[in-house]
Structure 1
Amino acid sequence: MNKPLYSLLPHRPPFLFVDTIHSVDKHGCLAEYTFKADSAFFAGHFPDYPVVPGVLLIEAMAQCGGAAVVYGNLASSKTILLATVKKAKFRRPVLPDEKIDFQIKFLKTTERLLHQSGKAIVDGEVATEAEWICMTVPDQTAKA
């Protein structure tokens, strides 16, 4: 993939949870991300046994799916907001510095709504899986 992530998503560090998108087609995408051990939230999220918060795994999957939809020109806006999460399952903890492979499927895409599902996989093992719906809104620019 040769489009930079910043052209596909409005997110920026420290809230950008996609390192690489490997492939995109009309059915979905493959991507990856690693939550670095020095991420500030690990200091308070089980300090004696830091794990990636489940909500951030869901957010990362939604960001991957959103970026892929924009890359494939399946949405008119790159401002895509999470609307509903369903069927979220957390099967194993994700630890700091573990590479997460994301497999995202596009279930239904309309001009305004994106219905997707995904898996977060670590070392070949499904860590998280979920279904979600995102809505597109007109692109916003910062107002001074």
Structure 2
Amino acid sequence: MLLNDFDKIVANLPYGDGFKFVDHILEMDEEHVIGVYRFRESEYFYKHHFINNSITPGVILIECMAQIGLACLGSHLMREESGNLDVVFTENHIVFNNTVKPGTVVIVSAKKEYFRFGKLKCLVQMVDENEQKIAEGWVSGMIINAQNTGNND
């Protein structure tokens, strides 16, 4: 896969700029993905999360791992499928070992555990630019038709 194809996957993720936690993909194949994100000092959540000692909320770190491990890898695995499909996050088990300060670059690696019946489960790990382990565990999600993600009222 060409780097340009990686860029297309990141560009086509169904998230706006304020909620896209993938800068680029370093490598990806049918079994794994490695991606990078830098938590910018200007991120909206730092203003309100531990005001005098800003750290990245754990739910945001999990979201970053899910976007790289599920959304990017899932998009790659589904590239042959027709239609407007997305991977939605369904469950996780993550253990945190460290915090992430504003300005930190994180590297997320995800290894496919299984992909069948529309469900993707990946083992994930997040380290910082100094290879210090931030978090590890697993995330899973389901493939859905993107038109069915709206409100059914």
Task: Compute the TM-score of the two structures, normalised by the length of structure 2.
Answer: 0.84
Flag the structure with higher helix content. Answer: 2
Please tell me whether residue 69 in structure 1 is matched to residue 74 in structure 2.
yes
Q: 1:99 to 1:71 in 2, by over 3 A?
A: same
In structure 1, the residue matched to 2:124 is: 118
Q: CA RMSD for the aligned pairs?
A: 2.0
Contact 2:75–2:86 (Cα < 8 Å) also in 1: no
Task: Compute the TM-score of the two structures, normalised by the length of structure 1.
Answer: 0.89
Contact 2:32–2:112 (Cα < 8 Å) also in 1: yes
Mapped to 1, the partners of 2:106 and 2:15 lie a distance apart of: 19
Consecutive aligned runs of 4 or more in structure 1 exceeding 4 Å deviation: none
CA deviations 1:31-72 (Å, max 9, x no partner) are: 100111111110110011111111111111111122122124
In structure 1, the residue matched to 2:102 is: 96
C-alpha displacement of 1:111: 4.1
User: What letter is aligned with 1:138?
Assistant: N
In structure 2, the residue matched to 1:31 is: 35
C-alpha displacement of 1:132: 1.5
In structure 2, the residue matched to 1:84 is: 91
C-alpha displacement of 1:98: 0.6
C-alpha displacement of 1:75: 7.7
Q: SS of the residue aligned with 2:19?
A: coil
Q: 1:15 to 1:128 in 2, by over 3 A?
A: same
Contact 2:46–2:55 (Cα < 8 Å) also in 1: yes
Q: SS of the residue aligned with 1:26?
A: coil
Q: SS of the residue aligned with 1:109?
A: strand
Q: 1:142 to 1:90 in 2, by over 3 A?
A: closer
Gaps of 5+ in 1: none
Number of matched pairs: 141
Percent of matched pairs sharing the same residue: 23
